[in-house]
A and B are shown apart, each in its own frame.
Chain A
Amino acid sequence: MMRFLLLFSRQGKLRLQKWFTPIPEREKKKIIREMTTMVLARQPRSCNFLHWKDLKIIYKRYASLYFCLAIENHENELLALEVIHRYVELLDKYFGNVCELDIIFNFEKAYFILDEFLLGGEIQETSKQIVNRCIESSDMLQEDDSSEWYEVELFG
């Protein structure tokens, strides 16, 4: 199974974190630190796989973002790379030419898409069409109550 997925920028800023097993917050912060330093230190044209503790770390860089997926030891590395790629494609399809800012400002959407794609550390649906249809139909469900759009807020 997959254990966690992290998205971070070249500066090491975390953009998305998904944990598939319960881990205490302190431990999470430690892992995030370790992953960012480890992955960012890799030379270009190195392979995309690392051994880390009893896990395999699969990482790939898309534009300014690093995707870093931890899988268990017996799992398939190449397919894990394609898990990352498929997720990028899903984000791309939804946002239209996705960039780091989309994920920052619409982080909740990034999580929703991920939940449709992966669940409990396993692949749930590999069909791009089906996942996209799912996300889009839930967007259709949103209530178009325009009054709320212009609500005066204390902070912004």
Chain B
Amino acid sequence: MPTVSKGDGMRGLAVFISDIRNCKSKEAEIKRINKELANIRSKFKGDKALDGYSKKKYVCKLLFIFLLGHDIDFGHMEAVNLLSSNKYTEKQIGYLFISVLVNSNSDLIRLINNGIKNDLASRNPTFMNLALHCIANVGSREMAEAFAFEIPSILVAGDTMDSVKQSAALCLLRLNRTSPDLVPMGEWTARVVHLLNDQHLGVVTAATSLITTLAQKSPDDFKTSISLAVARLSRIVTSASIDLQDYTYYFVAAPWLSVKLLRLLQCYPPPEDAALRSRLTECLETILNKAQEPPKSKKVQHSNAKNAVLFEAISLIIHHDSEPTLLVRACNQLGQFLQHRETNLRYLALESMCTLASSEFSHEAVKTHIDTVINALKTERDVSVRQRAVDLLYAMCDRSNAKQIVAEMLSYLETADYSIREEIVLKVAILAEKYAVDYTWYVDTILNLIRVAGDYVSEEVWYRVIQIVINRDDVQGYAAKTVFEALHAPACHENLVKVGGYILGEFGNLIAGDSRSSPLVQFSLLHSKFHLCSVPTRALLLSAYIKFINLFPEVKATIQDVLRSDSQLRNADVELQQRAVEYLKLSCIASTDILATVLEEMPPFPERESSILAKLKRKKGPGKLPDIDENRRNVNGSSEHSFRPPFTDVLNLNSSPSTGPSLLVDVFSDSSTSVSVDVSEDNFSRFVCKNNGVIYENQLLQIGLKSEYRQNLGRIYVFYGNKTSTQFLSFSSFLNVHAKSVDPIIEGGAQVQQILNIECVSDFTDAPVLNIQFRYGGTLQNIAVKLPVMLNKFFQPTEMTSQDFFQRWKQLGAPQQEVQKIFKAQYPMDTDVTKAKVLVLLCWNGVDPNPANFVGAGVIHTKSTQGGLPPQTGMYRLTLRTSRESVSQRLCELLGEQF
């Protein structure tokens, strides 16, 4: 029997625990536990009422069993009973059990809430604390409902004990995190801010946590906290270390509170008030100065606490991004840490410098440390430190040092830990592309990447190199030559075979003049890899072969023999077999012209955000990727980072080129049918309540619309703008409505107009699609745009008295005539804006619902519409009644998206 038990030791519990510890096997432990569970169950079920002590002891045993990892399905009720005990330790165990075991949606919450309520009302600070701890630990919605109103008043009441205030502040913080809608903001918020002035530093610390969270959500409401926080911080950093008594931690004055205050200030831009601003700058300077002072203690706790404050101050300096001197000082300080003997500090310095690298003030200063960082990459023993070094190199990279950094990363890759290789590959690929001055370097880098770490080169990376080679004709010959040479390696990675197959298939002709890389040599080289490759790669190679037949008629017979062989024509894999059969047939029956058309060189890919960057962002999670944009952050010191449009389309080759089939391997699949193009309807819904605007835009063409409607007739003016400097040839558009034909040539930079006349014959749901085709630089472009011709455009307002309206409304009472939709507001609810939209959509005037007239099929259907739009709770209810079910449905769809 060990004697380690302390306080109100429960002897039975200690014995049980040592029994468990003595169990030799898992089975023995389970047996012992089951025995105990049976015992406890019988005690709880027994006739004899248990005294408080026994109840406490058994509940505690159950808790122990649960914490060992076993399920507990009883005892909750007994634990709840303990809450009403007036003995502190019993209550305490009850609360502990509940905090650990009761999940937030238990049906016991009502009973628990009752216990909490009593303790909160007890005015006994120890009991109140237990109750508040329990709320903060469980934090369920029911608890928030029951106590969210009460806790703020406990927090700000003048007679509340300090320790209770601390618990109340953090309890409120927890409820605000879990159910923000239930925690009412009110006059207490102003008083909470004033807790920053409290005498008790523990209260200030807890309050600062609460205020920081609230300020992140509604900064304006807590603006007054800035000056109080600066004042408080100033007092702490200038205090002598003994002033703060027990809040001094290893000779550092209130490190926790300092960090919290610095964190709070990071919710805001630099203070506008000059005096306040200079006071804050002084604080930050003092903190930076202290870093240079000799340590007051050799203990690591001292340096950790001191540097914790320093790093938080640097975070604030970076966040403000407005004081060049501070930024450079911060950078120098971190530079010192880069060579510190403490691994932790080196790690943090690397991490912190990543963010400094994105500020234009300190970017250059960060760059001066490049050699130290490269050295860290080579010599650090700890993989997580090396990883931070990779991150920093990535962040500090620009055109001036890209070649050095990429080379270092490539050489590190050869020995890098497997866990971080893929990320490094992505980073190298991005940097190589972004800072490529000449694309031969880019091609070399990517091929090296495949050579060194082929297994970690994801699809996106090799897709991207092909996109770039196809889009830049100055690098195509070099790329062909380089892949050709690389393919000579005895064991080359399959990814290289893919790139090689694709590039030689497209541009092999550029190097075919040299007898060392004649068509036949190229083909034999590729085919020597064929049998070692996986099915997708082989499929790609087959496509490369058919492209060879087009490029080099002299190897046609050789390739046909290969395609004809049993291993191809009768391949067990359906895809390979089909390709072999089809390519063989194509090569036999198609004339040279047809072959040349079908197997034409791939058109340029539209310029979009690199798919590799998108992948890295996904991998790292939002916000973690340092911005390597050339435009570093602005000098304005505002907290907003520059707006970057979200990438909606994670591009990969499969969806890329705007003309027809995308991958080389797809070359055959679409050639028999007409080219199908995705219909663009990105801007479609924006036109529900407006008639003019830009409906489509890509890098070549902009299409604008101006439209007008009268009864069942509509007219749309379509403006095609050529954004390039080259002519569009054979421009044409087809539509299922009457259109005056458009000029077949659009000069570079010019705009032409086309008029479309529209008549609404009957109600409809599908909008007409405008197909556009033209030649740009030798390639055929196909664009399809959904025209915003919608049912509601043919509304005609009709004057009607309210009485007439309601009569009509009642006539349309059949269930299928009415459609109702209740939906959440997508936009802020503003009565005027809503009214204006309703006006445009439904031609409905004023507050009284007026009817509208609907014209279709040459017959006038009278329909009425009522929009009930009570601006409450962020929801709208839209009710529509028309004489036709389909009309109601479609209108509801259209209108429902607009609020």
Contacts and interface: CB of A to CB of B under 8 A. Distances in A.
Contacts of A47: 343-344, 346-347, 382, 384-385
B7 A139 contact: yes
A155 B136 contact: no
B202 A155 contact: no
Given A122-B170, A127-B247, A105 B256 contact: no
A19 B390 CA distance: 33
Given A107-B64, A153-B15, 16 more contacts: A46-B382, A47-B382, A74-B315, A77-B344, A81-B344, A82-B255, A85-B304, A112-B96, A119-B166, A120-B173, A124-B166, A124-B170, A126-B205, A127-B245, A130-B202, A145-B53
A74 B256 CA distance: 15
A147 to B, nearest CB: 9
Interface of A: 1, 14, 17, 22, 24, 29, 43, 45-51, 54, 73-74, 76-79, 81-82, 85-86, 94-95, 101-102, 104-109, 111-112, 115, 119-130, 134, 137-139, 141-143, 145, 148-149, 151, 153-156
Given A79-B305, A81-B304, A155-B15, A126 B93 contact: no
B348 A78 contact: yes
B344 A138 contact: no
A119 B171 contact: yes
Nearest to A112: B92
A126 B245 CA distance: 12
Contacts, number: 210
Given A128-B246, A138-B126, A85 B6 contact: no
Contacts of A46: 343, 381-382, 384-385
A153 B42 CA distance: 13
A78 B347 CA distance: 11
Contact of A82 (B53, B305, B343): B305
Most buried by B among A45, A74, A112: A112
28 contacts: A1-B177, A1-B209, A46-B381, A46-B385, A47-B347, A48-B344, A51-B387, A74-B315, A79-B259, A81-B344, A82-B308, A86-B249, A95-B6, A105-B2, A111-B100, A112-B96, A119-B167, A119-B174, A122-B173, A122-B206, A124-B202, A134-B163, A139-B7, A142-B88, A142-B89, A143-B87, A143-B89, A156-B19
A109 B89 CA distance: 11
A105 B4 contact: yes
A22 B15 CA distance: 32
Given A105-B14, A105-B17, A109-B7, A78 B384 contact: no
Contacts of A124: 166-167, 170, 202, 205-206
A82 B89 contact: no
B617 interface: no
B5 interface: yes
Interface of B: 2, 4-9, 11-12, 14-19, 21, 35-36, 39, 51, 53-54, 60, 63-64, 67, 69, 87-89, 92-93, 96, 99-100, 103-104, 126, 132-133, 136-137, 139-140, 163, 166-167, 170-171, 173-174, 177-178, 201-202, 205-206, 209, 245-247, 249, 254-257, 259-260, 263, 301, 304-305, 307-308, 311-312, 315, 343-344, 346-348, 381-382, 384-385, 387, 621, 623-624
A78 B337 CA distance: 14
Contacts of A109: 6-7
A49 B126 contact: no
Contacts of A154: 39
Contacts of A82: 249, 255, 301, 304-305, 308
Contact of B163 (A29, A125, A128): A125
Given A108-B93, A122-B170, A124-B206, A17 B67 contact: yes
Q: Closest 8 A-B residue pairs measured CB to CB?
A: A156-B15, A120-B174, A78-B308, A79-B308, A141-B88, A127-B246, A142-B8, A120-B136
B710 to A, nearest CB: 56
A1 B139 CA distance: 15
A58 to B, nearest CB: 10
